[in-house]
A and B are shown apart, each in its own frame.
Chain A
């Protein structure tokens, strides 16, 4: 099945891509005809981090597990807010310039309340659970030094009882 058809027919479409993401990518996302609402989140590379000027960001990704985690998050959101919600989740990997899109999420549901909540849940959980890492590339200093930094993040290592992510989100 070609990718465009796959995107338009999928209830949950997830992917990690190396090519630039644009809002045109959303044109293949088609809400169910019973849906009256959709919510979209767009993450951009911004030009500042911790007070330092950023010139680029690099995303590293364990792709197969990332796609699985994206799907798991979408299914959790369906169970919580809307069993027939549709999801489109796209994340970029590789080096991105300031202003480029790092992540694109769209959720459609019957009513707007569920789409706001489900979309918010997806991005918040991606940040905590998806095996993706970000390296900031800072502006070259006056001394000619270029600095990069892997961003501190959320530990995935699990100890003790299994976490109910939806329950924690509430």
Chain B
């Protein structure tokens, strides 16, 4: 079974303090659809997570770039660093 590690940041840490989940890799075409899949996976880890708005406002990213919501989901391996980034407020 192919697995993926997804790093979680910011507000997601109140639901998953470890800041990471491991999910089964599935065939999902678009980045926007993959985010919906992640919503369900985070809920499996913590059923108290019901913030759909947070997922919708978050971006999927690699170490190199943010993935556009409309682009096709790239193929990743377990060693790839993929992150779910909520709205940012650094500086």
Contact of A158 with B59 at beta-carbon distance under 8 Å, contacts A64-B81, A131-B9, A131-B83 already known:
yes
Closest chain-B Cβ to A150's Cβ sits at a distance in Å of: 4
Which residues of A sit under 8 angstroms from B75, Cβ to Cβ?
none
Is the C-beta of A99 less than 8 angstroms from some C-beta in chain B? no
Complex Cα–Cα for A102 and B81 (A): 25
Contact of A132 with B91 at beta-carbon distance under 8 Å, contacts A62-B85, A68-B63, A158-B69 already known:
yes
Complex Cα–Cα for A160 and B70 (A): 8
- Using a Cβ–Cβ cut-off of 8 Å, how many residues does chain B contribute to the interface with A? 29
Asked if A131 and B89 make an inter-chain contact with CB atoms under 8 angstroms apart, the answer reads no
Closest chain-B Cβ to A126's Cβ sits at a distance in Å of: 5
Is the C-beta of A43 less than 8 angstroms from some C-beta in chain B? yes
Closest chain-A Cβ to B21's Cβ sits at a distance in Å of: 15
Asked if A130 and B64 make an inter-chain contact with CB atoms under 8 angstroms apart, the answer reads no
Complex Cα–Cα for A43 and B91 (A): 7
Asked if A131 and B91 make an inter-chain contact with CB atoms under 8 angstroms apart, the answer reads no
Cβ 8 A contact of B90, one of A68, A132, A152, A157: A132
Complex Cα–Cα for A150 and B51 (A): 14
Closest chain-B Cβ to A129's Cβ sits at a distance in Å of: 7
**Nearest neighbor of A161 in chain B, beta-carbon distance:** B68
Contact of A134 with B7 at beta-carbon distance under 8 Å, contacts A65-B61, A65-B64 already known:
no
**Nearest neighbor of B55 in chain A, beta-carbon distance:** A157
Asked if B88 and A157 make an inter-chain contact with CB atoms under 8 angstroms apart, the answer reads no
Most buried by B among A60, A135, A159: A60
Complex Cα–Cα for A69 and B68 (A): 16
Asked if A156 and B64 make an inter-chain contact with CB atoms under 8 angstroms apart, the answer reads no
Complex Cα–Cα for A157 and B85 (A): 8
Closest chain-B Cβ to A41's Cβ sits at a distance in Å of: 9
Is the C-beta of A24 less than 8 angstroms from some C-beta in chain B? no
Interface residues of A (CB under 8 A from B): 43, 59-62, 64-66, 68, 91, 102-103, 123, 126-135, 150-160
20 contacts between A and B (CB under 8 A): A43-B91, A60-B19, A68-B63, A103-B90, A123-B91, A126-B91, A128-B88, A131-B9, A131-B83, A131-B90, A132-B88, A132-B89, A133-B88, A133-B89, A153-B89, A155-B59, A156-B61, A156-B87, A157-B57, A159-B68
